[in-house]
Amino acid sequence: MANTNLDLDEVNHKLRLVTAEHVVQWAAEIFGDGLMMTSSFGVQSAVMLHLVTRVVPDIPVIWIDTGFNFPETYTFGEDLTKRLGLNLKVYQSDLSPARMVAIHGRLWEQGKRGLDRYDVIRKIEPRDRAFQDLGVKSWFSGLRRDQTQFRKMLRKVEYFGSVVKIHPILDWTSEDVDAYLKQHDLPYHPLREKGYTSIGDWHSTKPSEGGSDSRDGRFQGLKQECGLHLPQSEAEIASRDSSGL
């Protein structure tokens, strides 16, 4: 695998005007078998899964399964895995859903503090374990600038702790996503037809008001990010802030 001590300013300048496919190809050349991607099998997940696996067919696809997904999400995930031939790796918390509720209560009903603790147990710890197990050096993510305030600050290539995080479709709009899905005959999550524009766990997701492409139906409006994509340590936060992002 090539040297991954990157000059982020230089890399982002180089990639600022290239296509999403070119970003994926660049990452494949730089990181080789240290690449992976995550997917929540959400509304538009087929885009990134198709885009990346066309270039890196056997890339590990990590699904952090909270155990609280909608039934439609599980069937959608199975269907896309078979259709695209995904190298799927499912990771879950060591604490079962029933045991977590028995010990900690319904964390999603305990305000932002409860939701944050829920994220650590059900999402962040399994993610970190997956990264360690798979020797992850670089992480593809389908975040877009038009989704949340935090995401507006991102660049196509960032450090996330010791991992390099890559956002090939960061500059895409909802119209770009629609066009890609149509061009390649790819499906949306089935709950989109019921007004869901962003889909997470059943207890913290509702249809979006007005049917806009937003995350206003998530986490009772208390936050927009699930925690997987946010810096976790004070050092990571300071690093991000010092970069001007």
The residues that are catalytic are 226
Three-class secondary structure of residue 121 per DSSP? helix
Q: What are the angstrom distances between the C-alpha of 175 and each of 85, 105, 179, 181?
A: 26, 41, 6, 10
* Amino acid letter, 221: G
Measuring CA to CA, how many Å separate 185 from each of 21, 87, 180, 201? 18, 21, 8, 26
The Cα 173–Cα 176 span in angstroms is 5
For residue 91, the cross-strand partners are: 64
- Residue whose C-alpha is closest to residue 157's, from 145, 172, 168, 171: 168
Q: Name 2's Cβ contacts closer than 8 Å, sequence gap at least 6.
A: 29, 30, 31, 32
DSSP 187: P
Q: Which residues, other chains included, contact 172 with Cβ-Cβ below 8 Å and sequence gap of 6+?
A: 20, 144
**What interhelical angle do 20-31 and 45-55 show, nearest 10?**
50
Are 190 and 72 in contact by the 8 Å Cβ rule? The answer is yes
